[in-house]
Amino acid sequence: MLSQPAFHVGSVPVFGELILAPMAGFSDLPFRSICRSLGSAMSYTEFVNVDDLQSRRGGNRRARQRLRFREHERPVAFQIYGHDVDRIVDTADRLQELGPDIIDINMGCYVKKISERGAGAGMLRDPCLIARLMERLVAVLHIPVSAKIRLGWDDDTRNYLQVARALEDHGASLVAMHARTRAQAYAGHADWDAIAAVKQALSVPVIGNGDVRAPADIERMKAHTGCDGVMIGRAAIGNPWMFQCKDRQQVSLADRLVLLREHLDLNLEFYGAQKGLVLFRKHVARYIEGTPAAARDLRVALLTCDRKQDFEALLYRLESKWLPRLAAGQKRILASSSRYWRVSGSSSPSRAKTPRITSRGSPVRKPLS
């Protein structure tokens, strides 16, 4: 963690430049806790529909569960979405009693059933509505307000500069931007030039998001855009060590399994035994991706078991099968390298000809893109 804040959201200091992106189904309390412990500088909750938060039915309980957080996650931003200004403002006002540091408005969700109703990225089609919403939120809330946006609805309406200026002019304390349009979803390339243009146009902090797939991309985005922080989404799933600027290949299978177990325990604690294990399956597939452990039989078994003891038995099988092989592979590398160690006329090893031995035992695939 930095000794000095990297930037402030209003009066809230943020001690770091890397942030886990809010992702439906992934950025829940267990995964946020993991990422925060590895270096993510703040926590965004999964986005929550304001209509669910105002409902008296079961949706209220499920929605509020998404807003639960731990103190070590601070600063915490509650991300909400909706299409009705009055409901958004009323909900945000009442959410203050739950103790978030920031209220964030989702203006980037591309999903059809959300955006075509005027929520999420649907808001981008009406900058005047965005201005009214921000103005009212700032008047009511005693904590900062931020927004996460996209380039625009589609390539014909890339109005991100107009939207970003409307946000700042009417009180937003931070703007995060996924540099794709709603029509792109996750296809094509993120336009980092657009992030740079927003950074140049605004005085509030700007967070860049999109196409950060490897640690090298973090520095590239910062250099290219001048953004105050970098938001990492899909690349962190299965590799939360991204917040320590580590590639997937730099993390041993043993270390992955230690964190995998920790993550599983957090899931079971948060969701309960059955639901916690089912929801964890999607993470398992990504933790073991790119290693010999991703053999089809074990992978399928891990993704279909429904009891923790069965899951633990599979992990033990994975460890007993693959860790010795990786260690043996390392020994073979050491043994085969001995032919480089002798120099003509000498019985002592030569430093100049000693090959560099890495901590990786066997080759792995490229990290998830």
Q: How far is CA 215 from the centre of its chain?
A: 13
Tokens of 73: 């996650």
Write out the catalytic residue numbers: 109
Q: Kind of pairing, strands 7-9 and 12-14?
A: antiparallel
Q: In the Cβ-directed half-sphere of 249, how many Cα atoms lie within 13 Å?
A: 11
DSSP state of 157: G
All residues at 6 or more sequence positions from 129 whose CB lies less than 8 Å from its CB, including other chains? 85, 123
DSSP state of 329: H
Coil, strand or helix: which one is 26?
coil
In the chain, where does DSSP find H-type helix? 29-38, 50-54, 58-66, 85-95, 112-115, 127-140, 160-169, 192-201, 215-225, 253-271, 273-287, 296-304, 308-336
Task: Please report, as a single letter, which amino acid is at residue 155.
Answer: D
On the question of a cis peptide bond just before residue 75, with omega within 30 degrees of 0, the verdict is yes
Give just the sign of the alpha carbon dihedral 121, 126, 129, 135: positive
Angle between helices 296-304 and 308-336 (to 10 degrees): 150
Residues linked to residue 78 through DSSP beta bridges, in sequence order: 103
Which among 54, 137, 130, 66 has a CA at the least distance from the CA of 103? 137
DSSP state of 47: P
SS3 content of the chain, % helix, strand, coil (to 5): 50, 10, 35
- Cα 33-36-41 angle, rounded to 5 deg: 145
